[in-house]
Amino acid sequence: MRCPYCGSVDTQVKDSRPTDDSSAIRRRRVCDACGGRFTTFERVQLRELTIVKKSGRRTLFDRDKLTASIKVALRKRPVDEEKIERMINGVVRQLESLGESDIPSVKVGELVMEGLKHLDDVAYVRFASVYRDFRETRDFADFIGELNADDAPPPQRAKK
């Protein structure tokens, strides 16, 4: 593993342990060259996933990019890091379980929106505003109206 501080490839693992949800191995490392300490995570990857963009362009799936976009939506929201990590793990597992190596970007967006909907309403709306390309305030109002309609209880039948 290359040191993020000096670039040396001579690093040693000092401590390894599973993460709280046992989905990864957390490794504490130290660089022999500069003495820098850093953490890496090792996860199981079932297959190489390729994301197919709306334009047709193809790019390798990047978990860090997914994590960054979710964290932008959740910025300054009171959501526990463990819940965020569980949601990200769930999205990745769902993508891997589709059984295909080419995944449309639309599918990734849908899975993230579904996860955020159950995690935090504000983050859900933030992500949707970018994902669905809201152009004006009416787009927000319409989306929130749909969200509230989905949460409303079914109408009661009149008793005879």
User: How confident is the model at residue 88, as a pLDDT?
Assistant: 92
Q: Is the CB of residue 63 less than 8 Å from the CB of residue 88?
A: yes
User: How confident is the model at residue 160, as a pLDDT?
Assistant: 47
Q: Where are the alpha helices (DSSP H) in the chain?
A: 63-73, 81-97, 105-119, 121-131, 137-151
Sheet harboring 11-18: ordered strands across? 11-18, 24-31, 37-43
User: How confident is the model at residue 136, as a pLDDT?
Assistant: 80
Does the reported pTM lie above 0.75?
A: no
User: How confident is the model at residue 151, as a pLDDT?
Assistant: 62
Q: pLDDT tens per residue, the chain (160 residues)? A: 889 999 999 999 999 998 877 777 899 999 999 999 999 988 776 668 899 998 999 999 999 999 999 999 999 999 998 899 889 989 998 998 888 889 999 899 999 999 998 999 889 888 888 877 777 878 777 877 777 776 654 444 445 4
Domain coordinates in residue numbering, the chain:
10-44, 46-149
**Residue whose token pair is 């955020």:** 116
